[in-house]
């Protein structure tokens, strides 16, 4: 099995609150979060072509159902910022922020904190692999 660092992202708008009505589940682990000035995607996967372009794309890890270059291409535009672990960011050009667990980042009006992610009841992403240490 390949090693994929995983991160879980917690974020909030600096100086404000995000209305939960603006959080849209898109299937699997994919979400779109919008406010009046920003379109944020998390792990876009099997998304349609007719959705708003992304200002920010978060990729939690490199498994195909979280990191889908085909789906990223559907929503990426000039100026889109991609935030992901090193194993994913090396495959992109443009505005890239490489993250690792246990850190905080400020991206525009977003404050992002990353934590290690692992499954406790499945064989994928076991805690004992310490994939977040590979960065």
pTM given for the model: 0.79
**In-domain check, residue 70:** yes
Per-residue pLDDT 10s for the chain (135 aa) are: 333 444 555 555 445 555 667 888 888 888 898 877 789 999 999 998 889 999 999 998 777 888 899 999 999 999 999 998 877 877 777 788 888 878 888 887 788 888 777 777 777 777 776 655 443
**In-domain check, residue 60:** yes
**In-domain check, residue 1:** no
Q: Give me the domain span that covers residue 27.
A: 7-133
CATH value at residue 66: 3.60.15.10
Three-state SS letters, the chain: CCCCCCEEEEEEECCCCCCHHHEEEEECCEEEEEECCEEEEECCCCCCCCCCCCCEEECCCCCCCCCCHHHHHHHCCCCCEEEECHHHHCCCCCEEEECCCCCEEEECCEEEEEEECCECCCCCCEHHHCHHHCC
**In-domain check, residue 67:** yes
**In-domain check, residue 2:** no
Question: Looking at the 3D structure of the chain, how many domains does it have?
Answer: 1
């Amino acid at each position: 099995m390949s090693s994929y660092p995983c991160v879980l992202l917690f974020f909030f708008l600096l100086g404000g609150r995000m209305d939960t009505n603006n959080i849209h589940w898109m299937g699997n682990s994919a979400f779109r979060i919008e406010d009046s000035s920003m379109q944020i995607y998390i792990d876009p996967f099997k998304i349609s072509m007719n959705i708003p372009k992304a200002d920010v794309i978060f990729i939690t890890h490199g498994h195909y159902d979280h990191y889908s270059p085909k789906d990223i291409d559907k929503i990426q535009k000039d100026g889109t910022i991609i935030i992901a672990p090193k194993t994913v960011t090396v495959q992109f050009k443009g505005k890239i922020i490489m993250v690792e667990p246990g850190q905080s980042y400020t991206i525009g009006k977003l404050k992002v904190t990353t934590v290690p992610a692992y499954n406790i009841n499945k064989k994928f992403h076991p805690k004992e692999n310490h994939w977040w240490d590979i960065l």
